[in-house]
Amino acid sequence: TRAMTVSDLILLPQVSEAEVVNELSSRYQANDIYTYIGPVLIAVNPYKLIKKNGKSLYDESLIEDFSGREIHENDPHPFAIAESAYSHMINFKANQCILITGESGSGKTETSKHVLQYIANISTKARTRLAVNQSRKLSDDKKHAIDKVVNNVRRILIRANPVLEAFGNAQTVRNNNSSRFGKYMLLQMNPSGQVVGGFVHNYLLEKNRVITQAAGERNFHCFYNLLAGASKADKAEWHLEDATKYAFLQHEQRTIHGVNDRTEFADLGHHMTAVGIADDDQRQIYQQLAAILHLGNVVFVSQVDGSHNPCCAIDVVCDLIEDAKMPGIFPLLDEQCAISQTSVDVLMHRFNETYVKEPHFIKSRVKGSVFSVRHYAGVVEYDLSHFAEANIDSFFTELYTELQKSSNAFVRNLLKDERSNKEKLKRPPSTSFQFRAQVNALVQDLNMCNPHYISSLPVFDCCCRCIKPNENKISGSINKQLVTAQVQCLGLVENIRVRRAGFCYRETYATFLHRYKILSRTSWPAVHNCSSLLTAEDVGVLPSLQPVSAQREAEANGQQRPLTPLEVYHMHLAAKNNKPTDGHEVPQPIIRFKEDIESLGCFSLGRNKVFIKHPAALFSLERLRQDKLPQIAKIIEDAWVRRL
């Protein structure tokens, strides 16, 4: 018999790493690969296609099951997270962001595909999701034109992922389709919630993989696709041979189990055509891939003077030591790189001297080039041996200049230099500078969306934490030690505890009233006495706010229904002004707020904001609002008819 599990880890009787890992393991063995922590989705990579009731978990026929439903009403699924973000964007007219995190091989790329699949499909049906169908005001020709644009964008969004994967993904020892870059996809929506455009920004593309790969790994997929799928005529024109002939494809690992590179090449052409890349441009791209392979076979002979060593690539350096009173690691690295022939010893001395009082920096106990950084998830050790070389972007201006003289128009346009003369005189930006600039730009973009934990909107953290169950990429097998390490790195236990203790909703009174004022005759159609703000002492407890169904049943039986936060708020205002409220006696005195975890409607009235503890209470408010909208529309319509 199957052990009972919980779909939301917040409901665990006891919260500990062991309990979380055991629960995830039990669900994984039962093919329940998705689990909630409140609105956060935990995804454990199944390494296989899972079907339920004869259908794939991601069958498009299931999209309607998630459409228009609150997250707690759905089983854990990427579609549920996508629906949550989409509905909040529609309801609150605010940007949303979905963060998908996890280590290599945990399933981030596949999860992002499912999220994109849902958004692309549901946005084409957006007009049916609106309470007031805005498009009915448009002519049929205008509707068809909009639908054509939306469907075209939907097709491009779905087809863009395979193109990005071909040129940016590779097989590693941990993942057969590992993204070797960070990806930020920005979708643009019209007021009706339809996708009308988008951008894809990449971060830290692993360029060094082109020239060297670790044992058991491959170069980017596109090279193998080209060699396996190009026609005989194209191979002859581009002088292509077997993969064994190229230094850039040096390892024996040249195929992926279950993947046909010839078929992938044919599919890549179809996908590139679908996203708008012309046939001539596709041939130019393939030609440049062939040129890169040939370039890898060129051997340079030079005299080594001892000051040059093979450049060793640094994997992504994550958290930075940044402080207003001291330079960070990257700025200090840039400073030393600006000095010719900087030695490892000098750089290590500068680091040790600068960060001697920094608790996150750990100096090596023995003399050498090693230091450690205490990250959130643990201590990570770094070797300075080739920091300086890797930090210098070796694609020099002179090389750009020569390539811009190419007889190939595609190459000239690809490397077109649009910098001003003043910018051309500056030192080329270092790798760390480019990284910081990209990260800062990304943070600015994310800050324009709904922030996490500290929110000015009724938002739920739209994010997914992906977990890798084992190192061997085997379905049905779970390594609890490996999963425990990821649970620690992702901070899942802390996340559970924070969500148990905190409020899911925090909003200013003005915005709260703007959205929910139609639920009370005190605030609609005219808002009375709402200019006053409650003081810190004017806080209270909401009588148990039951689900909408329970409220309707109570009213049908003639019982007094529980008060909504909006009504309690007006009661407080009335109490301050000694004015009666409609339908309820003014409570005297006002009860100071006291947390009550058993009360579904537990809330707090702060100095400037309303705080609601449980998501179900907010969902009840939303349901009440949705039920009220048709009545309001009927009142407005009747008033308009009377005027006519």
Closest CA to 39 of 507, 495, 447, 604: 495
108 labelled ligand-binding: yes
Query: Which three-class secondary structure state does DSSP give residue 349?
Result: helix
For 252, what's the count of Cα atoms within 13 Å in the CB-facing half-sphere?
0
Closest CA to 332 of 355, 310, 360: 355
The parts of the chain modelled with pLDDT lower than 50 are 1-2, 127-129, 131-133, 135, 304-326, 451-460, 529-552, 554-555, 559-566, 569, 571-573, 575-600
**Predicted local confidence at residue 331, as pLDDT:** 65
**Over the stretch 129-171, which tens digit does the pLDDT of each residue have?**
453 345 456 677 777 777 787 788 888 888 998 999 999 999 9
Tokens of 573: 């205002």
**Over the stretch 291-341, which tens digit does the pLDDT of each residue have?**
999 999 987 765 544 434 333 222 322 333 333 344 566 666 666 666 555
**Over the stretch 479-510, which tens digit does the pLDDT of each residue have?**
999 999 999 988 899 888 877 777 767 777 77
**Predicted local confidence at residue 642, as pLDDT:** 84
Question: Which residues, in sequence order, are CB contacts of 527 under 8 Å at separation 6+?
Answer: 513, 517
Note whether 450 and 88 are within 8 A (CB).
Answer: yes
Q: Give the end-to-end CA distance of the chain in Å, rounded to a whole number.
A: 68
105 labelled ligand-binding: yes
In this structure, which topology does domain 221-295 adopt according to CATH? Arc Repressor Mutant, subunit A (1.10.10)
102 labelled ligand-binding: yes
342 labelled ligand-binding: no
In CATH, what number does 9-206+455-501 get? 3.40.850.10
Closest CA to 120 of 196, 39, 40: 196
Tokens of 155: 């097709």
Tokens of 336: 């030393």
Tokens of 474: 């085997």
Query: Which three-class secondary structure state does DSSP give residue 118?
Result: helix
**Predicted local confidence at residue 329, as pLDDT:** 61
**Predicted local confidence at residue 458, as pLDDT:** 34
Tokens of 491: 């901070």
Nearest-angstrom CA–CA distance, 305 and 125: 67
Closest CA to 390 of 306, 311, 331: 311
Q: In one letter, which amino acid is 98?
A: I
107 labelled ligand-binding: yes
13 burial level (CB within 10 Å; 0-12, 13-18, 19+)? exposed
> Phi/psi at 5 (nearest 5 deg)?
-130, 165
**Predicted local confidence at residue 114, as pLDDT:** 93
Note whether 534 and 605 are within 8 A (CB).
Answer: yes
- DSSP-derived secondary structure for 511-560: HHHHHHGGG-TTTSSS--S-S----TT----------HHHHHHHHHTTPP
> Phi/psi at 457 (nearest 5 deg)?
-135, 160
Query: Which three-class secondary structure state does DSSP give residue 617?
Result: helix
109 labelled ligand-binding: yes
Query: Which three-class secondary structure state does DSSP give residue 184?
Result: strand
- DSSP-derived secondary structure for 128-179: GG-SS-GGGGS-HHHHHHHHHHHHHHHHHHHHHHHHHHHHHEE--SS-TTEE
**Predicted local confidence at residue 522, as pLDDT:** 73
Note whether 213 and 219 are within 8 A (CB).
Answer: yes
Residue with tokens 């199944």: 46
Note whether 34 and 75 are within 8 A (CB).
Answer: yes
Nearest-angstrom CA–CA distance, 425 and 612: 57
Q: List, in sequence order, every beta strand (DSSP E) within 205-337.
A: none
- Global confidence as pTM: 0.69
472 burial level (CB within 10 Å; 0-12, 13-18, 19+)? exposed
For 441, what's the count of Cα atoms within 13 Å in the CB-facing half-sphere?
11
334 burial level (CB within 10 Å; 0-12, 13-18, 19+)? buried
Tokens of 470: 């084992």
Tokens of 96: 């949303």
Note whether 596 and 602 are within 8 A (CB).
Answer: yes
Annotated domain spans of the chain: 9-206+455-501, 221-295, 505-643
Tokens of 75: 């089983």
**Predicted local confidence at residue 280, as pLDDT:** 93
φ/ψ bin of 451: left (φ > 0), alpha (ψ from -120 to 50), beta (otherwise): beta
